[in-house]
Amino acid sequence: MQHRPAVFAALLGLTRAGSAIGDFWVQSDFCARVKGASDDHPVTYQDPVTDETTTHGTADGRKACLQHCLTYTATQAIVAGAGARALGIRVHPAAAAAALAISFGTHYAADRRVPGKGLLEKIATKTGKGGFYKLADFGMNGAFHLDSAWHHGWETAAAVVATTKATTR
């Protein structure tokens, strides 16, 4: 399949764009703030419209992360699907589903950032990047950058999977 590298590049670009839109424009303020909540590390949320203050634990944190990952993955599917169609790329449905499942699962695993227990924090600590993960100074946020790198890596793997049996018109 001579076109696979071009299809890969197109799908990676499309899923990257869908990721950024899903993470920063579609994700609600509530999900962004509460998705890492746990009973040991509750999150207090003040609604910007009503000023109502609520406290959230593990169940709400999981729900907020799930809601975010569903809207994030749906956004990727819409952007990648529309873009692929516009570019004349036919993605095999099973490959698309597998790629989106990779994106969803790895995104949830990374975004459930329960302090001291989150996957990214554990990986950062074990690889000597714990200090960078906790950095929140000088205009830098290490957890954000490691999170982004994690997502970019898995989106690349998902784009490779998505090219399986892909054709062009």
Write the pLDDT tens digit of every residue in 122-134.
999 999 999 999 9
Under 8 Å between Cβ of 121 and 143:
yes
pLDDT computed for residue 96 by the predictor:
96
Single-letter residue type at 65: C
Average confidence score pLDDT of the chain: 94
pLDDT of residue 2: 62
pLDDT (average), residues 137-164: 92
Place of tokens 């982004």: 148
Please give the pLDDT value at position 139. 82
Helix (H) / strand (E) element for 96: namely helix 93-111
Q: How confident is the model at residue 21 (pLDDT cuts 50, 70, 90)?
A: very high
* Tens digit of each residue's pLDDT (9 = 90 or more) over 83-93: 999 999 999 99
**Sign for the pseudo-dihedral over CA of 65, 146, 40, 47:** negative
Instruction: Tell whether the model's pLDDT for residue 1 goes beyond 80.
Output: no
pLDDT value of residue 19: 96
Q: What's the average model confidence in pLDDT over 53-80? A: 98
